[in-house]
Amino acid sequence: MKVIFLGTSGSMPSQARSSSAVAVRSKGEIILFDCGEGVQRQMVAAGVGFSRPTRIFISHLHGDHILGLPGLIQTMTLLQRERDLYIYGPRGLMGFIEAFNSILGDPGFDLVVGEIASEGIVFSGQEYEVRAISADHDGPSWSFMLEERPHPGRFHADRALALGVPQGPLWKRLQQGEDIELGGRKVLSIDVVDPPIRGLKIAYSGDTRPTEKFSRASDGADLMIHEATFDDSLIEKAEEDGHSTATQAAETARAAGAGMLILTHISSRYPDAGVLLEEAQKVFPKVKVAEDLMELELP
Amino acid sequence: MKVIFLGTSGSMPSQARSSSAVAVRSKGEIILFDCGEGVQRQMVAAGVGFSRPTRIFISHLHGDHILGLPGLIQTMTLLQRERDLYIYGPRGLMGFIEAFNSILGDPGFDLVVGEIASEGIVFSGQEYEVRAISADHDGPSWSFMLEERPHPGRFHADRALALGVPQGPLWKRLQQGEDIELGGRKVLSIDVVDPPIRGLKIAYSGDTRPTEKFSRASDGADLMIHEATFDDSLIEKAEEDGHSTATQAAETARAAGAGMLILTHISSRYPDAGVLLEEAQKVFPKVKVAEDLMELELP
Catalytic residue among B64, B222, B231, B292: B64
* Residue B62 touches chain A, beta carbons under 8 Å: yes
Distance from CA of A226 to the nearest CA of B (A): 22
Contacts of A44 in chain B (CB under 8 A): 13-15
Decide if A230 contacts A250 (C-beta within 8 A).
no
Nearest CB partner across the interface for A103, out of B40, B44, B95: B95
Contact between chains at B45 and A15 (C-beta distance less than 8 A): yes
Residue A151 is predicted with a pLDDT of 87
Segment B288-297, tens digit of pLDDT: 999 999 999 9
Segment B256-277, tens digit of pLDDT: 999 999 999 999 999 999 999 9
Residue B268 is predicted with a pLDDT of 96
Segment B227-261, tens digit of pLDDT: 999 999 999 999 999 999 999 999 999 999 999 99
Identify the helix (H) or strand (E) that includes residue B171. helix B169-175
- Which residues are CB-neighbours of A156 under 8 A, at least 6 positions away? A192, A193, A194
Residue A37 is predicted with a pLDDT of 98
DSSP letter at A186?
E
Residue B39 has pLDDT above 90, yes or no: yes
Task: Establish, for the pair of chains A and B, how many residue pairs have beta carbons separated by less than 8 Å.
Answer: 93
pLDDT band for position B21 (cuts 50, 70, 90): very high
* Residue B89 touches chain A, beta carbons under 8 Å: no
The C-alpha atoms of residue A133 and residue A252 are separated, in whole angstroms, by 14
Q: Which residues pair with B86 in a beta bridge?
A: B55, B112
Domain ranges of chain A: 2-151+197-297, 157-191
Decide if A60 contacts A140 (C-beta within 8 A).
yes
Q: How many CB atoms lie within 10 A of CB B45?
A: 17
Rounded to two decimals, what is the model's pTM? 0.92
> Which phi and psi (to 5°) does residue A113 adopt?
-110, 125
Residue B91 is predicted with a pLDDT of 96
Residue ranges of chain A with per-residue pLDDT less than 50: none
Residue B176 has pLDDT above 90, yes or no: no
Distance from CA of B32 to the nearest CA of A (A): 19
Nearest CB partner across the interface for B103, out of A18, A61, A74: A61
Segment B96-147, tens digit of pLDDT: 999 999 999 999 999 999 999 999 999 999 999 999 999 999 999 999 999 9
> Which phi and psi (to 5°) does residue A155 adopt?
-90, 130
Residue A176 is predicted with a pLDDT of 87
* Residue A63 touches chain B, beta carbons under 8 Å: yes
Under DSSP, is residue A129 helix (H, G, I), strand (E, B) or coil?
A: strand
* Residue B38 touches chain A, beta carbons under 8 Å: yes
The C-alpha atoms of residue B88 and residue B132 are separated, in whole angstroms, by 10
Residue B299 has pLDDT above 90, yes or no: no
Mean per-residue pLDDT over chain B, rounded: 96
Task: List C-alpha distances in Å: B112 to A157, B24, B54.
Answer: 74, 19, 11
Contact between chains at B12 and A40 (C-beta distance less than 8 A): yes
Contact between chains at B14 and A68 (C-beta distance less than 8 A): no
Residue B167 is predicted with a pLDDT of 94
**Domain range B2-151+197-297, its CATH number among 3.90.1150.10, 3.60.15.10, 3.40.50.12280, 3.30.565.10:** 3.60.15.10
